[in-house]
Chain A
């Protein structure tokens, strides 16, 4: 073998090794294969196991992902990233007790960055929510915000819990604090929702008008205005807004697979117009295509309300409180 002085051939043999650099096949399956080879070759490594777990998660193989992460935790018990990932996976698998265990371990990691602590607290909040402990879920959101006041999702989730726990004043104040700290447009929207839920119709209306004027797509804002107008007993204007919103929604609604955000809007518009069965139907559809708890709860609430009041009475209630 002439080792030296030989011209290097243009085709270099690839010797391998998944360094993490992308290879010809970057798909999760190939990544898993390569990472598995690496684990056999080099032995267990928390980093590699974490990488493989992420690939498993992408493929929806949560059990395998959890197994890798548990091995990774044994190798690196102080790795907050691994613990965070593991807690999330266990929660996704519906194993709330296990998720809480990993959350507890993660919170005990010394020198945890504030952002990481906040993220872990949010997972704990989700665990509490899954257990039905609303108060504790709310507290975790608040604590997460103490560690990371920039966390938009924590403001939104806290607002949601405060709404469910009937703490409207706290909710509005919390959102105003979030707007001050982050400037996030989404919190401005949520504050308006909070004002409407609280029945502060005039304030809500004043906040809605400039938003509506500056919007290209006005359907959602018209529905919000309709709620305020109804609250102020300006029913004709409200109905006009609702009809106009429904027209826009119909124009934007996809033909086959539905858009849950539009379905939620249409459901609310129909609910406010007293088309209760149609609204329930829309909430159901929304829940089936990613609308989440919000859609499910709205549908159930409407169903309960429907049983409690005859339709004509409920019509009035819907205008007052969403």
Chain B
């Protein structure tokens, strides 16, 4: 039984994954969990939260509160996995939900894209092909309409000729499958389905379900729903969420999402849709990063509201606006033929859409020509000529004004955006510009005309220097409709997950907040209200725009100026947070082959084929225990204690791994190798082995998370070798030691 169990650390706790052989499924169904739970130890009783993600042959249980990741880490090491596994196995089999949960081959759960008053797209992915069927209706329990098969586009990732792959994927390389449109970077064997639902009524709530033939794959739940857009021009309250630079897969990202959800729930009005201004999949926008750092992070919001995306520079590492190829373009469906209003762009790199009385424009500020003579700017001008909505909102990634983690007075991309694109937008009557890139929240005064390539100044470009808060200085005022040069509010919302930063204060900004959060925008008739909601779900800024009558436009020669920013003398390094969910590839306390008191020759010892049979087989932790190492505590000839350890671990599908990291306690410096290649070093200056130099004293203590670099290049399917060398900073070090565990972001 034990071999069917694995555990992984998840948000605020840990999860048990039980792989259930089919004979057990029936037995599980007869169990009464409430009875079992009453016999359960107090500590666990209140910590079992829910059964999560039941899959084809496994069930994940999630525990929280009592068992934080570090304490579990200690517990497991102290008690041994076996005892825990037995407890948890009993718990696992006590949940009858499993037997009722259907077969779910999803590798990406269904999400919504590209809506209009009469149509919407439902996208999802599976491992291997299915018979895709989407049913929909106006009640969750009556999905009486079916999307015709011809309206479902299938894309597949089937590798290339000669590429090593599992036999099951090799057999899928049939001529028929190979003729399908390609997914450019998804793991081999991935099938993506894009169902186009049309013939819908405007502004109507529908429910949907995804099936494999007749087998239902999604739960019958009111959460599997969508609402079509209202007819263009319809005036009613609209709410949308804006976030940027979120895709780290770390705790801050989750907190910002939950903060928004909590605020919205309390307020009682759900989102109509949301906008992501880019950098949704750090570090390079690979497909696996999209999966874990966007789709899994926002799944509860993605399944019932459309996300309209803009490409960030991190996605730009692997996706190109000029070719329309890459994971970003695989992931999204956006209108290219004016399916949702606006002027057809003919490309997914930039597009526009209408939502009620708002016209939205999305630009690619990363890798397309930003000049007025370029295709994108020409399209922008032509689109603005046609826009007739009451409100005009534009979004893209690079901010024209910022002093956050980026400086718009120094960086060419940002200057070009300001100099070339803003004049077109402001002469077209833009009201609100949403950007990211800079990891900060900045919100401007009502402003117009600051396009200079030199440093931005506020004088004569601010039209209203109040705070824009209806409870304070009052809302910003503009005339009815879309009028040129009556002012716009600029919001930089790059604070939704990535580490924050600030270099100064932009003189046009009324509010600058260095804290994680996102922006909620409400539009109701002639009034727009923006609220910055922080990670705790607290409103931290509010501004409002009211478009009524024809107020006098005046330019302020001496507008209010924000206080000068003084950078802290010594910036504190923020800790590198571990991933929210992860599997343990090498547990703490595992057996390693170890060498101490000597140095191995060259770097062969880091390679997979190295014969380590002469090395000691020993269990971590390897500590000096006040001076002793491996029971003997020998120092090397150089006098400085050193330790070399190596161990194999297995990865089923290397290209699906987003991140590997060590949860490691060490002193003082370490160098980590993956399959013979150095992937990380900490506190070791130069060189390695006996020649290692510049070893610094580790000043703190305890386990920390250390991500491994370049895993995409060195990790392979099957068996891999992790090797670590650890050096004390001096001969007399008394805290020398190492206790590593290897984690994989899940």
The reply to whether B576 and A259 form a contact with Cβ atoms under 8 Å apart is: no
For chain B residues 421-468, which have a beta carbon within 8 Å of chain A? 423-424, 426-428, 438-439, 448-449, 451-452, 460
Return the CB mask of A129-156 against B: 1 if under 8 Å, else 0.
0000000000000000000101011001
Please report the C-alpha to C-alpha distance between residue A20 and residue B498 in the assembled complex, in whole angstroms. 11
- Taking the closest CB of chain A, its distance from the CB of B504, in whole angstroms, is 11
The reply to whether A1 and B701 form a contact with Cβ atoms under 8 Å apart is: yes
A17 and B709 contact, Cβ closer than 8 Å, known pairs A24-B501, A217-B384: yes
The reply to whether A58 and B411 form a contact with Cβ atoms under 8 Å apart is: yes
The reply to whether A290 and B373 form a contact with Cβ atoms under 8 Å apart is: yes
Q: Is B535 an interface residue (CB 8 A)?
A: no
Across-interface contacts of A21 in B (CB, < 8 A) = 248, 282-283, 498, 707
Please report the C-alpha to C-alpha distance between residue A57 and residue B416 in the assembled complex, in whole angstroms. 13
Please report the C-alpha to C-alpha distance between residue A186 and residue B708 in the assembled complex, in whole angstroms. 46
Q: Which of A199-207, A249-257, A270-278, A312-320 contacts B (4 or more CB under 8 A)?
A: A249-257
- Taking the closest CB of chain A, its distance from the CB of B46, in whole angstroms, is 21
The reply to whether B621 and A22 form a contact with Cβ atoms under 8 Å apart is: no
The reply to whether A257 and B451 form a contact with Cβ atoms under 8 Å apart is: yes
27 contacting pairs across A/B (C-beta < 8 A): A1-B624, A11-B700, A13-B573, A17-B576, A21-B248, A26-B405, A26-B499, A26-B501, A45-B710, A148-B324, A152-B345, A152-B379, A153-B375, A183-B346, A184-B346, A185-B346, A185-B383, A186-B345, A186-B378, A255-B449, A257-B452, A261-B423, A261-B424, A262-B423, A264-B372, A290-B419, A292-B372
6 A-B pairs besides A3-B738, A183-B336, A184-B346 with CB distance below 8 A are A6-B703, A27-B407, A113-B325, A153-B322, A184-B344, A184-B379
From A11, A58, A252, A260, B413 is in contact (CB under 8 Å) with A58
For chain A residues 239-291, which have a beta carbon within 8 Å of chain B? 251-262, 264, 289-291
Task: Give the bracket for the number of chain A residues in contact with chain B.
Answer: 35 or more
Across-interface contacts of B410 in A (CB, < 8 A) = 59
The reply to whether B426 and A254 form a contact with Cβ atoms under 8 Å apart is: yes
A45 and B385 contact, Cβ closer than 8 Å, known pairs A254-B426, A255-B449: no
Please report the C-alpha to C-alpha distance between residue A122 and residue B375 in the assembled complex, in whole angstroms. 13
Q: Is B381 an interface residue (CB 8 A)?
A: yes
The reply to whether A185 and B379 form a contact with Cβ atoms under 8 Å apart is: yes
The reply to whether B678 and A41 form a contact with Cβ atoms under 8 Å apart is: yes
A290 and B382 contact, Cβ closer than 8 Å, known pairs A42-B678, A148-B323: no
Return the CB mask of B661-685 against A: 1 if under 8 Å, else 0.
0000101000000000111111000
Please report the C-alpha to C-alpha distance between residue A111 and residue B184 in the assembled complex, in whole angstroms. 13
Q: Is A25 an interface residue (CB 8 A)?
A: yes
Q: Which of B71-79, B298-306, B517-525, B644-652 contacts A (4 or more CB under 8 A)?
A: B71-79
The reply to whether A215 and B386 form a contact with Cβ atoms under 8 Å apart is: yes
Q: Is B61 an interface residue (CB 8 A)?
A: no
The reply to whether B412 and A14 form a contact with Cβ atoms under 8 Å apart is: no
From B387, B419, B576, B679, A216 is in contact (CB under 8 Å) with B387
Across-interface contacts of B69 in A (CB, < 8 A) = 8
Q: Is A5 an interface residue (CB 8 A)?
A: yes
Counting from the closest, the 7 A-B pairs by CB-CB distance are: A20-B283, A184-B346, A292-B373, A8-B70, A115-B323, A182-B346, A22-B498
For chain A residues 6-54, which have a beta carbon within 8 Å of chain B? 6-9, 11-28, 38, 41-43, 45, 47, 51, 54
Q: Is B511 an interface residue (CB 8 A)?
A: no
- Taking the closest CB of chain A, its distance from the CB of B158, in whole angstroms, is 14
From A27, A252, A290, B427 is in contact (CB under 8 Å) with A252
For chain B residues 491-516, which have a beta carbon within 8 Å of chain A? 498-501, 503
Q: Is B337 an interface residue (CB 8 A)?
A: yes
Please report the C-alpha to C-alpha distance between residue A59 and residue B12 in the assembled complex, in whole angstroms. 41
Q: Is A194 an interface residue (CB 8 A)?
A: no
Closest to B380 in A: A261
Across-interface contacts of A220 in B (CB, < 8 A) = 381, 385
Q: Is B702 an interface residue (CB 8 A)?
A: yes
From A42, A59, A184, A216, B411 is in contact (CB under 8 Å) with A59
The reply to whether B575 and A14 form a contact with Cβ atoms under 8 Å apart is: yes
The reply to whether A254 and B385 form a contact with Cβ atoms under 8 Å apart is: no
Most buried by B among A58, A182, A216: A216
Q: Is B713 an interface residue (CB 8 A)?
A: yes
Q: Is A83 an interface residue (CB 8 A)?
A: no
Across-interface contacts of B387 in A (CB, < 8 A) = 216
Please report the C-alpha to C-alpha distance between residue A152 and residue B376 in the assembled complex, in whole angstroms. 9
The reply to whether B245 and A22 form a contact with Cβ atoms under 8 Å apart is: yes
Task: Give the bracket for the number of chain B residues in contact with chain A.
Answer: 35 or more
Binding site for B on A (CB under 8 A): 1-9, 11-28, 38, 41-43, 45, 47, 51, 54, 57-60, 81, 111, 113, 115-116, 118-119, 122, 148, 150, 152-153, 156, 178, 182-187, 189, 214-218, 220-221, 251-262, 264, 289-295
Please report the C-alpha to C-alpha distance between residue A22 and residue B249 in the assembled complex, in whole angstroms. 11
The reply to whether A186 and B382 form a contact with Cβ atoms under 8 Å apart is: yes
Please report the C-alpha to C-alpha distance between residue A11 and residue B428 in the assembled complex, in whole angstroms. 49
The reply to whether B709 and A18 form a contact with Cβ atoms under 8 Å apart is: yes
Please report the C-alpha to C-alpha distance between residue A22 and residue B707 in the assembled complex, in whole angstroms. 13
Closest to B736 in A: A1
A216 and B345 contact, Cβ closer than 8 Å, known pairs A22-B498, A27-B503: no
The reply to whether B385 and A217 form a contact with Cβ atoms under 8 Å apart is: yes
Please report the C-alpha to C-alpha distance between residue A224 and residue B482 in the assembled complex, in whole angstroms. 23
Across-interface contacts of B578 in A (CB, < 8 A) = 12
The reply to whether B284 and A14 form a contact with Cβ atoms under 8 Å apart is: no
The reply to whether A289 and B419 form a contact with Cβ atoms under 8 Å apart is: yes
Across-interface contacts of A28 in B (CB, < 8 A) = 406, 411
The reply to whether B680 and A3 form a contact with Cβ atoms under 8 Å apart is: no
- Taking the closest CB of chain A, its distance from the CB of B411, in whole angstroms, is 6
The reply to whether A116 and B325 form a contact with Cβ atoms under 8 Å apart is: yes
Q: Is B737 an interface residue (CB 8 A)?
A: yes
- Taking the closest CB of chain B, its distance from the CB of A278, in whole angstroms, is 20
For chain B residues 384-411, which have a beta carbon within 8 Å of chain A? 384-388, 405-407, 410-411
Please report the C-alpha to C-alpha distance between residue A16 and residue B661 in the assembled complex, in whole angstroms. 12
The reply to whether A122 and B322 form a contact with Cβ atoms under 8 Å apart is: yes
Return the CB mask of B575-592 against A: 1 if under 8 Å, else 0.
111100000000011000
